[in-house]
Amino acid sequence: MAEQRLEKAHCDWYADEEILDSTIGGLLREQAERNGDADALVEGKMDGTTGRRWTYAELLADAERMAKGLAARFQPGERIAVWGPNIPEWVLVEYACALAGLTLVTVNPAYQKRELDYVLRQSGSVALFLIKEVRGNPMAEIGRAVADDIPALREVVDMHDEAAMFTDPSGTLPEVDTNDAAQIQYTSGTTGFPKGVVLSHRNITNNARLFTKTGNLEDRQSTIGLTPLFHTMGCSMGVLGSLQTAAKYVPLPFFEPNAALDIIEAEKVTWTLAVPTMGVAMIATQKANPRDLSSLKLIGMGGAMVAPELARAAEAVLGSKALVAYGQTESSPVITSARPSDAVEDITTSIGRPALGCEVGIFDPATNEIVDCGVVGEIRSRSYATMLGYHENPEATAEAIDADGWLHTGDLGTMDDRGFVRITGRVKEMIIRGGENLFPAEIENVLAEHDGVAECAVFGVPDEVLGEAVAACVRMEDGHNFDPEELRAYCRSQIAPQKCPAYWEEVQEWPLTGSGKIQKFKLRDRWIAKNVNEKAEGVLGG
């Protein structure tokens, strides 16, 4: 493989990987038979301790008991929504729905009434599993108010009510096909309102299996669930990745770096998944209060472009290899991934090569032709992992997946002749300054190398002369002052003048999606709102 070279930015070297006709329930039964005594699920607590525990045999027994109760009340293919943080009951509902042939609808626990109403109606959910309250959000109250207005919603179940969770197990569990819909996951909404991505058992079980294969993850290891369960990184990669390797999965209700590091130390966690903001927080916390993290070998990091400095710091401070991955919910989610054997330079300057079983190409959005190696275009993928479609939205599905089966990611990037992909930004986020295309990720990577910069986001803002100008929001490291002139001079020393931000703003907190991605469109909207009809120059909100 190392001797091969691409002539165009299209790589299908890994696309012939074997894809299995697996189901979630079938895999759980297999692991319970092979590794019944192994720890499967452990309750993580926000104080950094752990609670209840299940072996694989116990997890299957509880999941089947719950599934039979569901099968007595619901028909295969009906949608069941789950609304809560990362708790063991969430995982039990995920497995029970899979065994009962029901489609799990994942809902962000931060949602309010309007958002919950939209997801339940759009998905056609017939039941809602929730908990009473999360961080001041009165979920039971909101859920019942919404349910009163949706005749199709037949049940609202408190996941902490054992009697309601485990009803009379008189139902008969159906035969579940690998191509049946397993989940509907709603996109994070970095650019607009979410769409329901329908994923099959075949999609997500194979994607999780091949990710663990890429990472060389061994059986019976241990992982902590830091990313939200309502997102693919949580309930697909985290839960099902653990299932594939008979690993111990410890969900933490919400990400908190001290609790996360305490559990990693106590439970001898060997791998985890995180978005970059989580990685930044854990690195800072470990520096301030070191733990024994010698068990931690790998962090699968994705959800946004991972800066080289962050990948290097993960290894230096956390002692863990950063396995950078890129994907989308629409692809179950992994599209590209680094390999543990990759050179450090490739791991820290790319998003890896196509994932196992996946074909990736870089296309000119205007002509739909594959571009040359090194030329920026839209990243597209074609594989077993591509979603079944957007729920009840054929127009959006046809726009996302073309007639040749290519998934249009909307992300811009390049591919070198070895198959390594580098991301340069979103098609919709590309900055056109005076007719020149500028890519936010390139500028962000430069800023991230500055010692004083903890996190940054670059985006385009309206300019009467140039069409668009470059703006940057920056969060500084503790002990470093925000100095736009110094940051501007630093950028000028690293990149061409036209790429250097014209406008600077210091921030302490980011507008984030539920899965931890920075919502640049909100930063841009806020900038426009602040500066409408103003001809501002230099520092804003400094």
Q: What is the pLDDT of residues 511-524, one digit of tens each?
A: 987 767 788 889 98
420 occurs within a structural domain: no
Query: Does 511 share its domain with 403?
Result: no
Q: What per-residue confidence (pLDDT) applies to 310?
A: 83
Query: Does 226 share its domain with 88?
Result: yes
Query: Does 359 share its domain with 221?
Result: yes
Query: Does 208 share its domain with 311?
Result: yes
Q: What per-residue confidence (pLDDT) applies to 222?
A: 98
Distance CA 93, CA 67 (A): 8
Query: Does 71 share its domain with 115?
Result: yes
Q: What per-residue confidence (pLDDT) applies to 305?
A: 56
Expressed as residue numbers, the domain containing 320 is 10-415
Q: What per-residue confidence (pLDDT) applies to 368?
A: 95
- Find the helix or strand (DSSP H, E) in which 90 lies: helix 88-99
193 occurs within a structural domain: yes
Mark which of 390, 415, 440 sits at the end of a domain.
415
Average pLDDT (388-401) is: 96
> pLDDT over 70 for what percent of the chain?
94
User: What's the Cα-to-Cα distance from 434 to each of 243, 345, 460, 472, rounded to whole Å?
Assistant: 51, 33, 12, 18
Distance CA 267, CA 404 (A): 46
**pLDDT reading at 542 higher than 50:** no
User: What's the Cα-to-Cα distance from 288 to each of 47, 281, 317, 438, 452, rounded to whole Å?
Assistant: 18, 11, 11, 37, 17
Query: Does 291 share its domain with 403?
Result: yes
User: What's the Cα-to-Cα distance from 7 to each of 11, 311, 371, 382, 418, rounded to whole Å?
Assistant: 10, 29, 10, 19, 10
Q: Which residues of 281-299 are buried (b: 16+ CB within 10 A; e: fewer)?
A: bbbbbbeeeebebebbbbb
Mark which of 385, 415, 445 sits at the end of a domain.
415
Looking up residue 447, the CATH number of its domain turns out to be 3.30.300.30
Tens-digit pLDDT profile for residues 78-118: 999 999 999 999 999 999 999 999 999 999 888 888 889 99
**Which is more confident, 42 or 191?**
42
> pLDDT over 90 for what percent of the chain?
75
Q: What is the dihedral of CA 530, 531, 532, 533, to 10 degrees?
A: 140
Nearest to 314 by CA among 352, 261, 266, 248: 261
Distance CA 442, CA 160 (A): 47
**pLDDT reading at 480 higher than 50:** yes
Query: Does 501 share its domain with 391?
Result: no
1 occurs within a structural domain: no
Query: Does 282 share its domain with 375?
Result: yes
Q: Which residues contact 409 (CB under 8 A, 6 or more apart)?
A: 328, 330, 331, 335, 378, 379, 380, 381
What amino acid is encoded at 472 in this protein?
A
Q: Which residues pair with 414 in a beta bridge?
A: 422
Mark which of 391, 415, 439 sits at the end of a domain.
415
Query: Does 327 share its domain with 437?
Result: no
Looking up residue 82, the CATH number of its domain turns out to be 3.40.50.12780
Contact of 459 with 474, CB cutoff 8 Å? no
Distance CA 338, CA 350 (A): 8
**pLDDT reading at 537 higher than 80:** no
Choice among 35-39, 232-236, 522-526 with the minimum mean pLDDT: 522-526
Q: What per-residue confidence (pLDDT) applies to 302?
A: 78
Q: Give the β-pairing of 503-506 and 467-476.
A: parallel
User: What's the Cα-to-Cα distance from 136 to each of 43, 349, 515, rounded to whole Å?
Assistant: 21, 41, 19
Q: What per-residue confidence (pLDDT) applies to 463?
A: 80
Tens-digit pLDDT profile for residues 481-495: 999 999 999 998 888
**Total number of domains in the chain:** 2
Q: Which pLDDT band holds residue 459 (cuts at 50, 70, 90)? A: very high
**pLDDT reading at 71 higher than 70:** yes
Q: Is 70 helix (H, G, I), strand (E, B) or coil?
A: helix
422 occurs within a structural domain: no
152 occurs within a structural domain: yes
Q: What per-residue confidence (pLDDT) applies to 30?
A: 98
Tens-digit pLDDT profile for residues 320-341: 998 889 999 999 999 999 999 9
2 occurs within a structural domain: no
As a whole number, the mean pLDDT across the chain is 92
456 occurs within a structural domain: yes
**pLDDT reading at 425 higher than 80:** no
Query: Does 100 share its domain with 200?
Result: yes
Query: Does 406 share its domain with 435?
Result: no
Q: Find out whether the peptide bond into 290 is cis, omega within 30 degrees of 0.
A: no
Q: Which tokens in the block code for residue 114?
A: 């309007």
Tens-digit pLDDT profile for residues 168-226: 899 999 999 999 999 999 985 444 567 999 999 999 999 999 999 999 999 999 999 99
**pLDDT reading at 248 higher than 50:** yes
4 occurs within a structural domain: no
Distance CA 75, CA 118 (A): 23
Query: Does 243 share its domain with 373?
Result: yes
Tens-digit pLDDT profile for residues 340-355: 999 888 888 889 999 9
